[in-house]
Amino acid sequence: MRITGTGHASMRIDTAAGSILCDPWVNPAYFASWFPFPDNSQLDWETLGDVDYLYVSHLHRDHFDAEHLKRFISKKATVLLPEYPTSQLEDELRELGFTSFLRTKSDEVHELDGGLKVMIQALISPTDGPIGDSSLWVEYDGIRVLNQNDARPADLTRFNELGHVHAHMLQFSGAIWYPMVYELPENAKTAFGKQKRERQFDRTWRYIDDLKADHVFPIAGPPCFLDDELWQFNDIHGDEGNIFPDQSVFMSEYAKVGGTNGIVLLPGSVSEINKDKSATTTHPVPIDEFFANKKQHLEEMRERKRPIIEAEKASWRHPEIDVLGELKKRIEPLLEESIYLAKGVGGPVRFDLVSYEGEEIESIVVDFPGKQVRPYADEKVRYRFRTQRELIEHLIFIDEGDWVNSLFLSCRFSAARIGQYNEFVYAFFKCLSEERLQYAEGWYDEHEKAVDAEDIQFGDWTVQRRCPHLKADLSRFGIVDGNVLTCQLHGWKFDLPSGRCLTGVGHKIRASRTES
């Protein structure tokens, strides 16, 4: 089995029974803030795109590149479609010209022509990607590969049940806006960033240990930031709190925990995975030399991509749009229908819209208890976001139904909040369409009603086995330090004596002292 690196979370898997292209991303994403690193735009995409099968794991724009899919990927390819609760991924691919779809069943092996086998595990909580993330398992002639990309399953049991995995591809770097955009003292921001960076690696080590594959491939990150306004987010400034470590950092950290089987794929790298557990890998340029010159590569790429960024920025401005009026028209009907998300947010959320020069233009409140969008009235708010008015204009102009997968991941904003992290805020702004909102409301409804009676022991504590956040198995991901339990899958913390969640609103845990 041959695996060709095509950048970020993208790869081409070739077997004698067919080829699969996964998550091709080339064009900038999230308001031209994210670019693939290393640069993959100069690969021979005409050849790479001539494949038998296409797998798009989910709709995050660093995995779903509509422009690239339309231009370069063969429309004769059969799409391996995850079993998602909404049809949006299929609908968008059909609009791009794809007509052949294999609608897979989650966790079910599908045998394709020539003995090629695939299985897609779909994760479908409102916090998984843009309502859905997935992993792809492939087997041919006894060789098995798991492309986990940036999915975070509670465990990898199902993949282990299918036999020993030879190659494991998974995320190791950040893909979020926290803590960089928060209005915090620099020392606090560094401390929070360092904690997040460490949690990212800890989670990666757990997944690697779960699967025990012969070879581990760090993928799905990091992006690079080429706009001058975002340049500081690249991990080239000696900031120990930077959450975007690259593949060379992964290899160094992996070695510290005894990892000896890591393989880095640059765009154009080719790795042959063999039955005898060996792998032969060739690279377009020497790996160590490439990362030693990372800053130089980024600076060259920044100059080359500058016209693209400037063209993107010129397209955002739509001054004819009445932002308040349009937001009322679009969001208030969703607030009226929202029960769980509105209750979960529990207070007003404020947007301060500013000009490009930073001059404040207007402040708008999405009032969740009051179920309305209105001007800010000098009140205390749960969350406050500050961003360019042009970005909100553009979101309205393109009728964007997912502000997380556009505005927030762009990092082109600043944020402040009172109290703990509130996942419902971001869940709501991911669901600015009727279909998405109804799904999220139904999921939270069922989730709230679900009762997990199984308990486990942590020293002096008896605790429910499943994390109240997203039901990760705490017997595997839970760590107790004093009276605080941490679920390492997403870093959520719980005070055991009270059961209170210390990380976010809601999600109380069931815990009690173990009777001796």
The answer to whether the beta carbons of residues 163 and 144 sit under 8 Å apart is: yes
Q: How many residues does the chain have?
A: 516
Q: If we measure between CA atoms, which residue out of 418, 409, 426, 493 comes closest to residue 181?
A: 409
Give the pLDDT of the chain (516 residues) as one tens digit per residue.
999 999 999 999 999 999 999 999 999 999 999 999 999 999 999 999 999 999 999 999 999 999 999 999 999 999 999 999 889 999 999 999 999 999 999 999 999 999 999 999 999 988 887 778 999 999 999 999 999 999 999 889 999 999 999 999 999 999 999 999 999 999 999 999 999 999 999 999 999 999 999 999 999 989 999 999 999 999 999 999 999 999 999 999 999 999 999 999 999 999 999 988 899 999 999 999 999 999 999 999 999 999 999 999 999 999 999 999 999 999 999 999 999 999 999 999 999 999 978 788 999 999 999 999 999 999 999 899 999 999 999 999 999 999 999 999 999 999 999 988 898 999 999 999 988 898 888 888 776 665 456 788 888 889 988 788 766 778 877 889 889 998 877 778 898 999 888 887 667 888 888 876
- pLDDT value at residue 451: 47
* Domains parsed from the chain with CATH numbers: 2-307 (3.60.15.10), 323-444 (3.30.1050.10), 451-513 (2.102.10.10)
CA angle 83, 85, 86 (to 5 degrees): 110
Task: Report the 3 state secondary structure along 71-112.
Answer: HHCCCCCEEEECCCCCCHHHHHHHHCCCCCEEECCCCCCEEC
Place of tokens 């839970």: 478
Within a 10 A sphere around the Cβ of 330, how many other Cβ atoms?
Answer: 17
| Kind plus residue range of the DSSP H or E element containing 427 | helix 423-429
CA distances from residue 281 to 116, 166, 340 in whole angstroms, order as listed: 23, 14, 50
Q: How far apart are CA 382 and CA 419, in angstroms?
A: 8
pLDDT computed for residue 268 by the predictor:
98
Q: Which residues of 99-124 are buried (b: 16+ CB within 10 A; e: fewer)?
A: eeeeebeebeeeebeeebebbbbbbb
Residues 6 or more apart from 324 whose CB is under 8 A from it? 362, 364, 373, 374, 375
Spatial separation of the C-alpha atoms in residues 264 and 361, rounded to whole Å: 47
Phi, psi dihedral angles at 287 (to 5 degrees): -60, -55
Among 312, 325, 124, 111, smallest CA distance to 227 is for 312
Question: Residue 266 contacts by C-beta under 8 Å, 6 or more apart in sequence?
Answer: 5, 38, 283, 284, 285, 287, 290
CA distance 324 to 268: 47
E strand map for 198-347: 215-219, 223-224, 270-273, 279-282
Global pTM reads 0.87
Q: Which residues pair with 54 in a beta bridge?
A: 21, 79
Are 29 and 230 in contact, with CB atoms under 8 Å apart? no
Say whether 500 sits in a helix, a strand or coil.
coil
Cβ atoms within 10 Å of 326's Cβ, excluding its own: 17
Provide the pLDDT for residue 471: 67
Please report which helix (H) or strand (E) contains residue 374, including its range.
Answer: strand 372-375
